[in-house]
Structure formats: structure tokens, C-alpha cells
Chains A and B, each alone.
Chain A
Amino acid sequence: MGLAALPIVNDPGLDIPIQELTPERIAEVFNRVVDQETAARFKVYLNTCVHCGLCSDACHWFLSNDRDPRFSPVGKVKQTLWELIKKRGRVQPAFIKECSRIAHTECNVCRRCSMYCPFGIDIAYLLLTVRRICSELGVVPQFLQDTVNSHAVTLNQMWVKQDEWIDTLQWQEEDARAEVKTGRIPLDKEGADVFYSVIAPEPKILAQLIGNIAQIMAVAKVDWTMPSFDGWDNSNMAMYSGDFEIMGRVERAHHDAALRLKSRRIVMGECGHAFRGAVYDGPKWLGWREPPIPLIHAVEFYHELIFSGRLKISHKFETPVTVQEPCNIIRGRGLGPKLREIIQATCADFREPEPAFEHNYCCGAGGGTINCGPPWKTSRVKGNSVKAEQLAATGAHVIITPCHNCHSGIEDIVGAYKLGMHVKFFSEILMEVMEIPEELKA
């Protein structure tokens, strides 16, 4: 076929475990997963795909890699599942490394392709099944596996110890009170309207975001709480590595924490994959059709606060802005219109990206891909040049990213393609334009 070899990436999480694999062991796990864990969708999808290639144009990896067919959605299925099925799982261990590279690091399971497939085949689901097989074989990129280990131990993503968590909240509460007199982070308050959950990078490296929300909640006079105990982290990388048992445990802890505190609803910070895990994949594995307590994303929450008048906007953010629409809340929740409404309510100059709404390109970091760590950063950034072009074309100076993975992924792209743009969470914009009533000012 004459395709140039892809650069070899060394990843101990893949290279070492495959040394212990045999074709027999791989076949056993492959057949177990396919027989016991998949059913109609898996079979019908594979039997229905007519190899038409129409999904290709959906994929930012394909478009960014000069239309290299190895990066098209169906091309990824061919290089993994078709081969596994043909050989009934009896493949060489090195093949499993390839499977993990393709499924874990070169697919963001963003589901854009299922909007381009005429049959609506959920190709991301097929690649998640490949991830499941790799995870069951113990072959997962090192950094991603480490995150899953953290989830398993701490039920949070970044090895945050229990005392560190509470200490951070108390410290952020102090910071918030330095700005807003009534700023508080009520711990373990029963019966609050809002149970606010975050992802672990917030307490670990972006603690000011928690201080910010304490100020926002105080100004909007929201009755809210955060738990001092495990279940505060709504993120879930086990969902993406393929370790569904740990995924289930993490999601149960999150929902149980809100149930224990008798909260009316869960509001989660600006994160997309966490929304997917907490609203779809987690509940589904545990047996809930919907989350037991309504769960809304920060975008929806800010929309409510701004449009109900509980938060007043003192002035608009003047710098031209555009938006990175997180797949998991746009394609995953249809929040595109609300996202625009809150941006337009707070920003004077909004530049619409193209493509937009459900058709927006993934940031390239989602789906656990950025969590595969530095070894895979080069290919990840290369695999999203279309995103750089899309952002540059808006002429905006600030990119609003209401998702942590998007935030980090877009920062990488801005850096690598020298776009000279800044990346902000929506809450950071809100902090600049929100009116703090005089009587609340510290």
C-alpha cells in the first residue's frame, strides 16, 4: 500500500505487559469479552458496515494526517477488530500494542464519525471494545494506567489524599472570603440544592477554580455543598482505559456521595468526559438508565444563574472569543445553544467556529488520549492540525473551553501551532465580568 511507517513510540505500559502475552491468552480474553460482554450492537455494526469510507471525513486524525487511511475511523476498526475477528483473537502480542496505540492514543471516542456513517454505526463503541480487550490483557499506556490506579485507590484521578482534599477546600474557602465576605465551601451539608463535584486536577493543580466557584456560589446565593469524603471527583479515566469495574466503583461513589448528602442535584464543573461518565457510561454499567439524582453540567448551571438573574454581569468581556465545544456536552447533551447564550451574555465579540455545534471537531485530548501522557503528545498534536486551522480562522484571541481535557488539549495545540491565543474556562470569564454586590465585597 506504500504507507510510510509511523514513528515507534515506546511506552512501558504497552511494551512490558505484552512480553507476558501469548496468542492463546489473547484469544481467551478476546473471545471472553466478545462472547460475554458484547451483543447486538457489536455484531450488527460489524455486519452492516459496507466499508464505504464515508466516516473518514469525520475524523480529525484522518483529516490532520493528510488523509492517511490508517487514521480513518473504519481504518482503525480494520487494523484492530477485523484482524482480531479473522484470527479469532489468536494474534501476536505485538499486535495488541498496535491495538492499544490505535484505540487508546489515536481515537478520542468523540463519536463524530457516527454522525457521518449513513448507518449510524457507533465506531467509538467498537474502539472502546478494543480498549476493553487491551485493558483486560493489562496493556494500557503507562500514564493512563497510572490514572486508573489512582481512581482505584483514591476514587479520584490524581492520587489526592483525603486530608489534602479537605485542606485544599478550606484553603480555597479562605481565598474566596478574601474577595466575597460570604464565600464558603460548606462541607457535608445535608439537603443542599446543589452537590458540586469537580475533577481531581482542580484540587491538585488548579485550586483557584474551586475558590472561584465558592465566590460564584456566594454571589448567586446558591445553597450548595461539597463532600469531605470520597466521591467528590466526577472524572473517570477507567471508563476510557477499558477497566469498567473500576469505572463503576468510581461512579457509584460519586452518585452515592450526593445521595448520602440528600442533595437535590449534582452540578459538575467544566469537564466533558466527566459528564459522559457520570451521566451515561457509569450509570449504564451500574444499572441506572438515568443518574439517580439529576446531574447538570456547569454550562447549564451558569446558564441558569445568568438567565434567572441570580448572577448579574457588570460589563462584557471585550477581547474577541471563540469556543471549543466539548464533544461530551455538545454531541453528548446538545448544550451548544446554551453555551452560546452564556458566552453572548458575557462576551462582546464572539466568533463562531466552523464547523460548529454537534459537528465541531474534538480537541484531540478527550477520550483519555491526553492521559496517555507525554510519549503520545507529538502524535496527538499532529493529529489535530484541523483544530488549529479552525481556531485560527476565527480570528479570536481567547478560546473558551468548558472542559478540562479540551482546555489542556487546546493549550497544546495553541502552543504547537503558535496560534498566540489564550485558553480560558468559562468560569474565568465569569469571574471577570460578574458583578459582586458592594455589601458582599470583603
Chain B
Amino acid sequence: MTEILKNLSNSWDWETPTKNITDINQWISRFLEVQELVASPDGERIAAIVQDDDESFTVCENGETWSSTFEKAWSLRFGPDGKLYVLGMNDDEWSVNEEDKPWDESFEYVWNLGFSSNGNAAGVNVRNSEGYAVSLNGSTWDEKFFQIRSLQISNDGQHSAGNIQTEPLSEGDIFTFKKGLWSLAVDGRPWEQRFLNVWGCSFSDDGSRVAAEVRLKTGRQTIAVDGVRWDQEFKAVWQPIFIPGTHEVIAPGLTTSGWKLHVNGTPLWNRSFNQVWRQKFAPDGKRLAAVVSPEFGRWTIAVDGNQWKTTFSDVVLDPIFSEDSKHVCAAVKDKSSWTIAVDGAPWNQAFDMVWDPVFSPDGVSVMATAAMGINHFLALDGKIVLGPFEAMWEPIFNENGDKVLIKCVENGQFLRRVVPVKDLSRK
């Protein structure tokens, strides 16, 4: 659970067992169209883009429509702080709308709505007549570029970065491309260095440094930190991360002996894999887990270089640590079925789909949203304990870990339910 969610959740209503927030069926009969529902983290609000009789679009929230209407609208999302955003267009001008109020500036186009993990900042990639940039909390980078293709926001919400094209390139011009036209702009200032490509980037915890995947030439890639590339080159790399609280960088790199994790360019674990990616640090900033493929067609998690004994045939998603950093779980898919594996042990129950699992605060229990056919369920420690629901959002434990907040649609009603864990286990 993110820090902000933990802090905010303390002030939520953990007493009322069930709140019927709104009747979705009524929305469906009332509007021409009701698009995808989004639920607020606290479950008190549910919203969707809806089309009114006059064919304009607006946002319906708990049955009430916004005063703003749009010719087009998309990317309706709650931020980590619980604020509701939508990207809307009127008269060919796009705006970021925060709780029914547009930011001052409008643009030719806006996309990649993103947030800082502390909830203090919302940002978008933007295009206006001068070029491409980032707008963070409504304030747009001064410098514009020929293109931008990503948005990364530092944890504290103070900084933003995106990979940018520094010079124009006509299609077919492979020789200009070879010079390297791509860089990373941080808070609107591009790195001095240019590369064939700059791809995924990450901020350090304090927001002062940025590391990114870069390509030097065909088949030669490495990591650059604040524009300075590692001495070591690899055939390929994946997205780097910073070691929490430091300026050390960890990234997977493909060597002649296979994929390895590297810290500042030096091999980290003394073994290579058929694949390594999705590396994540534990909350203590010490333990490191990653998804690995020890052999072709087999997948698992390795923690500090030691892989789980069980491997899976199809896919393993991001490792998730418990708050005490002792346990790791992940969504896994084996022989076409999804389930959750905790410390290497997969649940017996298989699903058609599972969402990211959540540890209880003491690290003892794991729960996740799961789906079978069109029905959604809450699964806890390998058992289906609630459902079926027509829709369900990420379940959240309270601070003590004795209650769970469920946000779901049941019989067309959006319900906010608080369920004691002991009632779930008993089922």
C-alpha cells in the first residue's frame, strides 16, 4: 500500500458495514451512454463519463452530473489523493479537468495523465502550437520539443520528466537518425547528451536524479543517469530503478551469458537468467525481488538472487512485498490459469483473471480481486470469500488488518462495504 493511501485510509469510515452509494441501473436508463465506471480509493464516490440527451459528454458522479460538458472526454481517473480528473475537449481545445474545474491552460492535445505517488501532483503530456511538453498541476514546461512520448513524475510531485525528440526528422532519413536525436527532459530542461533512443526512466526517491534506458547503436544499450551513461554496454536493457534512499541504480542488462541485474553497471547477483525484469525493492530498501525466467518457457520470482522453487509456464507479474519486507507475492499464470503465489507457493484456486494481490499489514494474509467468467470475487488466502460481483475495485485492509474495504457493483448497485476479516475467513 502506498504511503498516501495508508495515511488517508485512517480517516475513512471503517464502521458502516454497507453503503449503497448509487444505483448504476438508474444511470443506464437516464443517460444515452454510461462509459466505464471508476471508484474512488475510499469507495465513497463512483463516476463515469456519460452522454446526455444533447449528445454532449459529462461526468456523472454518485448520480450527479458535473456542470462541465465536453464534445469529447476520456481518461477519467481518481488520483491517489482521491481527486477526480478527466481529459475533455471543447472547440478543439483540450483541458485537464480536476473535480469539475479545468486547469487554466488548454492545449491542442493532452494525454498520459499521471500522478505523483504522494498525490500532490497530476501531470499530462501536452501538445500546443509551439510543440510538445509536460504540464504538471497546470503549469507547463517553458521549453517545447518536437515530440514527447512519456511522463514520469517524482514521488514528491516536484519534478517531471519525459523522453523527447530534440530535432526534426523527415521520414526515411536513417542517417540523421543515426546521429541520435533523442534525450530526456527533466522539468523541461533536456539532458545535454543525445541517444538513438531514450525509453523508460525512473526518479530517485528524493527526485534529484533520473535514470533511463538508452540505446547507443544497433544492439548496444545501457543506462544513463542524469545523462551520463554507464561505462558498461549491453545488448539490451530494461527500465532502471533507484535503490531506495540512494542514488544507486539497478537495471537488467543482456550480456553474452544471459540477462543479469546490474547495479551502476556491475553485475549484482552472481547468476544470469533467460530473462529478468520488473525488479522491485522491499519497503526496507534492502531486499530486492525480480521476475526471472530460469529457463526457456518457465517463470518465477527471485529474491536477492534466490529463485522460488516453483516456476510457472505463462507469466509472472510484479513482485509485491509485505510491509515488513519479509514476504513476497505476485500474480502468476500457469497453464492458462491465473492465481496468486505467496513466497513461492501458488494458491490452489485458479481464476480467469487476477488483479495485483495485497498483503495484510502483518504480512500474514494476502487478498486480491479475481474474475471467473464475467463475475468478480474477492479472494483471500487462496479462497473465494466474497462475490460474485458485476465489478470490483482493489480491496484495502484497514490499519489493524482486521477489516477490508470492498468497492463493488452488485445487482446494479455500487456498494461500499466494510467487512471484518474474521467474517471472511469463516466463510
Where the two chains meet, the residues of A that have a C-beta atom closer than 8 Å to any C-beta of B are 12-13, 16, 36, 135-136, 138, 142-143, 145-146, 149, 152-154, 159, 161-163, 166-167, 170, 182, 184, 186-191, 228-230, 243, 245, 248-249, 259, 262, 264, 286-290, 292-294
Q: B75 to A245, Cβ gap below 8 A?
A: no
Contacting residues, chain A, for B218 (C-beta < 8 A):
135-136, 138, 243, 245
Q: A145 to B111, Cβ gap below 8 A?
A: no
Known contacts: A135-B218, A248-B236, A288-B297. The answer to whether A153 contacts B172 by CB under 8 A is no
Q: Does B314 contact A (CB under 8 A)?
A: yes
Q: A163 to B111, Cβ gap below 8 A?
A: yes
Known contacts: A191-B371, A292-B314. The answer to whether A167 contacts B109 by CB under 8 A is yes
B306-322 vs A: 1/0 string, CB under 8 Å?
00000001110100000
Contacting residues, chain B, for A289 (C-beta < 8 A):
296-297, 313
Contacting residues, chain A, for B108 (C-beta < 8 A):
163
Contacting residues, chain B, for A248 (C-beta < 8 A):
236
Known contacts: A143-B172, A187-B74, A191-B371. The answer to whether A162 contacts B236 by CB under 8 A is no
- Min distance, Cβ B168 to any Cβ of chain A, angstroms: 12
- A sample of 29 cross-chain residue pairs with beta-carbon separation below 8 angstroms, ordered by A number, consists of A12-B175, A136-B218, A138-B217, A142-B172, A146-B177, A153-B149, A153-B182, A154-B149, A159-B171, A162-B111, A162-B125, A170-B74, A184-B33, A187-B75, A190-B36, A228-B74, A230-B149, A245-B221, A249-B199, A262-B355, A264-B353, A286-B275, A287-B274, A287-B275, A287-B296, A287-B299, A289-B296, A290-B297, A290-B313
Apart from A186-B35, A228-B111, A245-B219, what are 15 other A-B pairs with CB-CB below 8 Å?
A12-B174, A13-B174, A146-B174, A153-B165, A161-B147, A162-B125, A186-B36, A245-B235, A249-B236, A259-B317, A262-B355, A287-B297, A289-B313, A290-B313, A292-B315
Q: Determine the distance from Cα of A388 to Cα of B275 in the docked complex, in whole angstroms.
A: 45
Q: B177 to A149, Cβ gap below 8 A?
A: yes
Q: Determine the distance from Cα of A16 to Cα of B236 in the docked complex, in whole angstroms.
A: 26
- Min distance, Cβ A252 to any Cβ of chain B, angstroms: 8
B273-299 vs A: 1/0 string, CB under 8 Å?
011000000000000000001001101
Contacting residues, chain B, for A184 (C-beta < 8 A):
33, 35
Contacting residues, chain A, for B11 (C-beta < 8 A):
none
Contacting residues, chain B, for A186 (C-beta < 8 A):
35-36
- Chain B: interface residue total (CB-CB under 8 A): 50
Q: Determine the distance from Cα of A191 to Cα of B371 in the docked complex, in whole angstroms.
A: 9
Contacting residues, chain A, for B355 (C-beta < 8 A):
262
Closest chain B residue, CB of each to CB of A242: B218
Closest chain A residue, CB of each to CB of B197: A152
- Min distance, Cβ A35 to any Cβ of chain B, angstroms: 10
Q: Does B137 contact A (CB under 8 A)?
A: no
Q: Does B421 contact A (CB under 8 A)?
A: no
Contacting residues, chain A, for B109 (C-beta < 8 A):
163, 166-167
Q: Determine the distance from Cα of A189 to Cα of B77 in the docked complex, in whole angstroms.
A: 12
From residue 312 to 362 of chain B, which have CB atoms closer than 8 A to chain A? 313-315, 317, 333, 336, 352-353, 355
Q: B174 to A142, Cβ gap below 8 A?
A: yes
Q: Determine the distance from Cα of A292 to Cα of B149 in the docked complex, in whole angstroms.
A: 26
* Candidate in A187, A288, A290 with the most chain B CB atoms within 10 angstroms: A288
Known contacts: A152-B197, A228-B111, A243-B219. The answer to whether A290 contacts B314 by CB under 8 A is yes
